[in-house]
Amino acid sequence: MKRFACIFLALVFIMTLAACGGQQNQNSTPTVKQTTNEFGWMIPDVTTKFTMYVGKDNPDKHANRAKAVLPWVKEKFNVEIDSVVYDVDVEQKISLMLAASDYPEVVSSLTEEQALRFVEQKKAVNLAPLMDKHGVNIKKGLEKWKIYSTLLTEDGKLFYLPRVYGMIYEPDNTAHLRYDWYKKMGSPSCVTPDDYYNIITQMVREHPKNSKGEKVYAISGHEMATWGGESTLAGLAGIWGIKDQYKEDASHNLTHWVNTDEGLAMTKYMNRFNLDGLLDPDMFINKYDDWKQKFSNERIVGHIGPWWNSWNAGHEVWMKTMSDYNPDMRYFQIMLKAPEAERSYMTGKSARATWNQFTIITDKAKKPEAILDWLDFCNTDIGRWIPGYGRPEETPGDGALWKFVNGKPEFTEGPKNDLIKGTIDFDKQIWDRGAVFPLMVCNSTEGVRGNNTSFMYDHAFTDEMESWNKMIAATKDSIYDNTLQKMVQISPSTPLGSKHQQIKDAIISGWAKCIYSKSEAECEKNFQELRDKVNALGLKEIEKFRTDEYKKLLAKY
Amino acid sequence: MLRTLYKERQLWIISVPIIVWVLIFWYYPMYGLYIAFTKYFPGQDILSSPWVGLDNFILFFRSPDFWNIIRNTLAISGLNILFGFPAPIILALLLTELTGSRFKKVVQTVSYLPYFISWVVLASILFNLLGNDGIVNQILKSIGAVEDSIPFLSSGKNFWWVITGANLWKNVGWNTIIYLSAIAGIDPELYDAGKADGLGRFRAIWYITLPGIRTTLVLLMILSISGILNAGFEQQLLIGNPQTIEYHEVVDTYAYRFGIQLGNYSYATAVGFFKSTIGLVLIFAANRVSKKIFDVSIF
């Protein structure tokens, strides 16, 4: 019996070993032959699997969008991507990731400073040696915009890639006008800030209250302490010829608008609205949603800020909520230029970091080259349709934004017609199809329909969209290349970074005091106080740092 | 010592889980205070971060915002103590004097309710009440009391009062609980004796109730003084805005914005450590003063 038991156990042991050995063999020498799919992608025999962090967003919404495209990517490409977002500030999330050493294979939506933090801690993979084999299309794209070298370290290493690179010639900041009211006024010329002031104050006089009897204001603002304020200030300063809040002289010295006469002029301009009782008293309290509600309730007539603000808060709401909506009931965007300014600089664009976000492949990636292969494929002529527009049509009329027929990608008609008609629901018809957000971590801005288009779905049909073309035509002269100035970064985790934040806080708080002043003289006095305060806080030091760094970059590139 | 421990062994055994809990969750994390003296970046090993000594503290003391932050913290805390300390005592005394038990319960419940409302909801209520288009301004305008809205929430000068009022409203009911239980512990015979000696309601409060809860009052006063640098956090972040920042930035919000949000963990820890040290000094000082004057102390 004992002997039988020993033989049995020995056999079991040998068979187990053989089975394990067999498994190991299977892993190391693939038996499946690699094939190329209809998109020209060589399907890997072993599934390429990775998790991608793509920033701050609503996780449920994101999961829904990801579900629309990622299972299809797995099925067709054998690439299994887990695209995740968290409803937490990116800075806090990545700090926690780093502290716990718990971060995914791909981390995107990072500022350059945040990406550098991964690099400093040796947690980002050097992609330079892989680029010629696995990142050919990305490299070609970056070189086309002459930005590849700007991403390399002194010793030629490449640790991060731009999330989106290249130029989109759409304005980030514009002045906004209500089209039907403007037409009713006889479409007067609107070129200077004074023209704009006269037109929107006239509109308020004609519509002093909205349909609910609430007071209407000529101008307002939102998220003034963060992105909304940055945008409004950059746009306003741009009207007076200041680039991205810094005035550049002939020797490339940079001076913050607070230290310029132009800064005082734009402050007095905003104060005029207050003196006439036309400035929203909640301008510095409004969150975007508060502002959107007021705007869509027709309580705010004008706006200086991102072009999409008045689209999103204006006609996109009215189309859904108003039974008597007519297509003229919308906003259109223009550039303004102060007579004393040489040119308008309302929107600065950077080809190097269109969204000012970067992507790294981390040391958690077991096969970084396989991930890079996928990202590179997404930069091919066919591949970029996938991160751009999600899954292609499987059955006619399934709502997909594009289809792949006879080896060629093309847009489907339904959503396209809705877009051109202006009746498209962006959330349901575009984003929920898996476009852009789940997969876009390193892509060119370039559109699939030629040079005037971009990767954004709505930008693909700008030729057919009259309102879009009008906006581009009316604002193009205020757009400028700001790549080098945007490359100057002040790391927030340094003493200068803290100072920078203190100065930003003081500027917003002091500027609010200026524009709500009760007289022009008080406004000037408050402006001088603001200038003195921020200079005492170290604004001159910031100006010097930016100037020195900017000049270094000018000399280098 | 050992004999005492042995004598009280049952009590010590019962306390073991709590002691372990305190050691793990309160004392063990304190080793993290070390990063206040280093230049730490998340992901680095704490002990191998470069030593910077008192640099982070000096940076905070030299910060142009330092005195402003201390002023705001002390002002908001001071107002909270000034109004927030006596208010629950007064409410507890008033509730004790109520005779109808049903009415008393309703009042108690209603006064506790705001405590359970989160600051997020409360901020929204405040915006609807006190905003430029809020109910209060609408009423004031409709009766002709003001022409333009009063900027309750967008004026720095009003902020301290708004935040004090909000804190008071939110916490007053909840804070009465401890006083009500202290009052309930007073021997009813004292009131009967007082009544026999001709004491009215107010004099009974003065001569019986207040002395009866004196120990509780002093203990809570010592604790409030030690927490004088805890001037709030969520309320400032939610109700504050760029126009009020000069008046709403306190030690905790500063540590959060300049430390956590900017990734300066060492700096945030230094600011927090400074706050805790002041709190510790204050608790010892207040305890000593109270021992001397009232003969009541917490240790």
> Are residues A278 and A374 both part of a single domain?
no
pLDDT digits (tens, 9 = 90+) for B254-281: 999 888 878 788 999 999 999 999 999 9
> Are residues A432 and A354 both part of a single domain?
yes
Question: Pairing mode, if any, of strands A479-481 and A347-349?
Answer: parallel
Q: Tokens standing for B56?
A: 């982070």
> Are residues A234 and A271 both part of a single domain?
yes
User: Which of A96, A229, A284 is closest, CB to CB, to B154?
Assistant: A284
Question: What's phi and psi for A437, nearest 5 deg?
Answer: -65, -40
DSSP secondary-structure letter at A217? B
Sign of CA dihedral B134, B137, B140, B141: negative
User: Which of B153, B246, B262 is closest, CB to CB, to A492?
Assistant: B262
Q: CA nearest A499 in B: which residue? A: B63
User: Which of A97, A509, A536 is closest, CB to CB, to B243?
Assistant: A509
> Are residues A466 and A365 both part of a single domain?
yes
> Are residues A136 and A215 both part of a single domain?
no
The CA–CA distances, whole Å, from A550 to A308, A547, B138 equal 30, 5, 51
Contact: B41, A117; criterion CB under 8 Å: yes
pLDDT digits (tens, 9 = 90+) for B185-204: 999 999 999 999 999 999 99
Q: Tokens standing for A487?
A: 């490359």
Residue B148 has a pLDDT of: 85
Q: CA nearest B138 in A: which residue? A: A214
Structure-token match 């003289």, residue found: A521
> Are residues A373 and A277 both part of a single domain?
no
| Best CA proximity match to A221, nearest among A275, A302, A276 | A302
Q: Three-state DSSP class for A161? A: strand
pLDDT digits (tens, 9 = 90+) for A192-232: 999 999 999 999 999 999 999 999 999 999 999 999 999 99
Contact: A498, B151; criterion CB under 8 Å: no
pLDDT digits (tens, 9 = 90+) for A529-546: 999 999 999 999 999 999
Residues from chain A contacting residue B123 (CB–CB below 8 Å)? none
| All residues at 6 or more sequence positions from B70 whose CB lies less than 8 Å from its CB, including other chains | B251
Print the domain residue range for A435. Answer: 41-166+350-478
- Print burial letters for B256-265: b (CB count within 10 Å at least 16), e (below 16): bbbbbbbbbb
The CA–CA distances, whole Å, from B106 to A83, B5, B90, B110, B167 equal 51, 47, 17, 6, 21
pLDDT digits (tens, 9 = 90+) for A446-487: 888 876 778 889 888 887 877 777 778 888 899 999 999 999
Domain boundary (A458, A478, A498) is at: A478
> Are residues A357 and A334 both part of a single domain?
no
Residue A421 has a pLDDT of: 82
Contact: A284, B44; criterion CB under 8 Å: no
Does the pLDDT at position A131 exceed 90?
Answer: yes
Question: Pairing mode, if any, of strands A106-110 and A402-405?
Answer: unpaired
Question: What's phi and psi for A481, nearest 5 deg?
Answer: -80, 120
Q: Does A117 touch chain B (CB under 8 A)?
A: yes
Contact: A95, B243; criterion CB under 8 Å: no
Mean residue pLDDT across chain A: 91
DSSP secondary-structure letter at A210? -
Domain boundary (A478, A511, A539) is at: A478
Residues from chain A contacting residue B264 (CB–CB below 8 Å)? 492-493, 498
pLDDT interval class at A28 (50, 70, 90) = very low
Q: Which helix (H) or strand (E) holds B118?
A: none
Q: Does A289 touch chain B (CB under 8 A)?
A: no
> For B143-227, where are the alpha helices, taking DSSP H only?
156-184, 188-196, 201-204, 210-212, 214-226
Contact: B154, A492; criterion CB under 8 Å: no
User: Which of B63, B154, B258 is closest, CB to CB, to A281?
Assistant: B154
> Are residues A331 and A413 both part of a single domain?
no
Q: CA nearest A505 in B: which residue? A: B242
Instruction: Provide the domain count of chain A.
Output: 2
Instruction: State how far Cα A356 lies from the chain centre.
Output: 7
> Are residues A227 and A332 both part of a single domain?
yes
Q: Does A233 touch chain B (CB under 8 A)?
A: no
Contact: A101, B43; criterion CB under 8 Å: yes
Domain boundary (A452, A478, A504) is at: A478
B27 to chain A, closest Cα gap in Å: 20
Residues from chain B contacting residue A362 (CB–CB below 8 Å)? none
A397: left (phi over 0), alpha (psi -120 to 50) or beta: left
Question: What's phi and psi for A18, nearest 5 deg?
Answer: -60, -45
Q: CA nearest A536 in B: which residue? A: B64
| Best CA proximity match to A229, nearest among A152, A304, A153, A164 | A304
Instruction: State how far Cα A305 lies from the chain centre.
Output: 14
The region of weakest confidence among A55-64, A146-155, A412-421, B37-46 is: B37-46
Q: Does A515 touch chain B (CB under 8 A)?
A: no
Q: Which stretches of chain B sit within 8 Å of chain A by CB?
A: 41-44, 59, 63-65, 127, 131-133, 148-149, 151, 153-154, 241-243, 245-246, 257-258, 260-265, 267
Question: What's phi and psi for A125, nearest 5 deg?
Answer: -80, 135
| All residues at 6 or more sequence positions from B7 whose CB lies less than 8 Å from its CB, including other chains | none
- Contact between A295 and A201 under an 8 Å Cβ cutoff? The reply is no
The fold of the B63-117+164-293 domain, in CATH, is MetI-like fold (1.10.3720)
> Are residues A272 and A316 both part of a single domain?
yes
CATH number at residue A411: 3.40.190.10
pLDDT interval class at B43 (50, 70, 90) = confident
Q: Does A226 touch chain B (CB under 8 A)?
A: no
Residue A207 has a pLDDT of: 96
